[in-house]
Amino acid sequence: MISLKCQSTNAEELSWLSRVKESRQPLSESSPIWVRYGTLLPGASLPHPERHPYCEFRIQLEGRGILFVEREKAESVPGDLFLIGSGIPHWSQATKYPYEFITIYFLPSVMIEMGPQSAGPAILRRLTAFRSLNDHLVRPPPALRRKLTERFHEIEAEFGNNWFGREIRLRTLLVEQLVQLLRWEERIGPRPSQAALDVDWQPLTKSLRYLHENYREPIYAQNLARAAGVSESRLKILFHNVLRISWVKYLQGYRIHRAAALLSESRSSVAEAAFAVGFESISHFNVIFRDFMGVPPSEYGKQ
């Protein structure tokens, strides 16, 4: 595998971590994949440093930049791929324009729901098991890069049109891209440690299914642990090790993104959206919504 030059950031450069915000993609169970295309010209800036309760797969098409992940940084060039899981702060700073990219965001459940014997959990492990920037930033060879670039453009076009079978096609294209990448890595590069691969997926699958089916109701740790068939302490460890966030944070993100979809698609009022996704207090909903989306729900609905 091509080795990229990653460096530790100094104390001054770490100031970007204080500006990290939750990403604002309106993902939901019915629309678990969201695609963002962007081209930045000189003078324009990239979105704020972010983290999110879902997975991210990005290709850089043009330009150059500096990619920051936690306490590391590396230069990114056209053709580079970026893969990251839940809860990890990251940011890109453009250094050469135009800076063009396509980013695919998707809920972890897209992979988990494929079943424990499928490639889905292995793909999810690939995004969450590693901690070094060298594992998140990938520079594939020219032939593979061309194939993946074509697929990224194809999934961008699919996302932008309401064609028949759109959601199925989005999942198919996403999985195809990731399978091609992992096959290449399997042939030439290191794989996650056995400890990272040793995950009991059945309780996690049950947990996510319970959260998705009952997010409108009050959910407590003991109820979720009972549904998953594990202890509360084991449930906490499972979410931290696999998704890198707590189940409470995942649930909050899921509820907020469902509320965002209601505000933008059905023109629901703030109160209607809050109660529809399980919040019992409008003030609490306003605080959590702003933490995740960067704006109050009243302004998001207008946008």
Q: Is the pLDDT of residue 195 over 60?
A: no
Do both 157 and 205 map to the same domain? no
Assess if residue 1 is contained within a domain: no
Beta carbons of 108 and 124 less than 8 angstroms apart: yes
Which pLDDT score, from 0 to 100, does residue 197 have?
45
Which pLDDT score, from 0 to 100, does residue 242 have?
75
Do both 217 and 276 map to the same domain? yes
Per the structure, the complete domain to which residue 277 belongs is given by: 200-302
- The single-letter code of the amino acid at 245 is I
Using CA atoms, how far residue 62 sits from 67, 119, 146, 162, in Å, is 14, 31, 13, 27
* Mean pLDDT, the chain, integer: 85
Q: Residue 1 — pLDDT band, cuts 50, 70, 90?
A: very low
Domain holding 70: CATH number?
2.60.120.280
- The single-letter code of the amino acid at 11 is A
Reduced to 3 states (helix: H, G, I; strand: E, B; else coil), residue 276 is helix
Phi then psi for 181, rounded to 5 degrees?
A: -65, -45
Listed residues 191, 224, 257: the one ending a domain: 191
Do both 91 and 185 map to the same domain? yes
Residue 184 CB neighbour total at 10 angstroms: 18
User: 164-192: per-residue pLDDT in tens?
Assistant: 999 999 999 999 999 999 999 988 866 54
Do both 173 and 205 map to the same domain? no
Which pLDDT score, from 0 to 100, does residue 122 have?
77
User: 113-145: per-residue pLDDT in tens?
Assistant: 775 566 777 788 788 766 688 889 999 999 999
Do both 163 and 76 map to the same domain? yes
Do both 89 and 220 map to the same domain? no
CB hemisphere CA count around 120 (13 angstroms)? 18
Domain holding 275: CATH number?
1.10.10.60
- Among the listed residues 41, 131, 150, the one whose alpha carbon sits nearest the alpha carbon of residue 88: 131
Assess if residue 103 is contained within a domain: yes
Do both 187 and 209 map to the same domain? no
Do both 34 and 171 map to the same domain? yes
Assess if residue 171 is contained within a domain: yes
Listed residues 169, 191, 213: the one ending a domain: 191
* Residues comprising the chain, all counted: 303
Assess if residue 262 is contained within a domain: yes
> For the chain, first and last CA: distance in Å?
44
Task: Check residues 2 and 233 and name the one with the higher pLDDT.
Answer: 233
Which pLDDT score, from 0 to 100, does residue 178 have?
93
Assess if residue 35 is contained within a domain: yes
Do both 45 and 151 map to the same domain? yes
Do both 184 and 210 map to the same domain? no
Listed residues 162, 191, 220: the one ending a domain: 191
Cα–Cα distance for residue pair 131/70, rounded to 1 Å: 9
CA angle, residues 78, 193, 248, in degrees to nearest 5: 80
Q: What is the pTM of this model?
A: 0.76
Do both 284 and 155 map to the same domain? no
47: which residues sit within 8 A by CB, 6+ positions away? none
CB hemisphere CA count around 259 (13 angstroms)? 32
Our count of domains for the chain comes to 2
Do both 35 and 130 map to the same domain? yes
User: 251-276: per-residue pLDDT in tens?
Assistant: 988 888 788 878 877 678 999 999 99
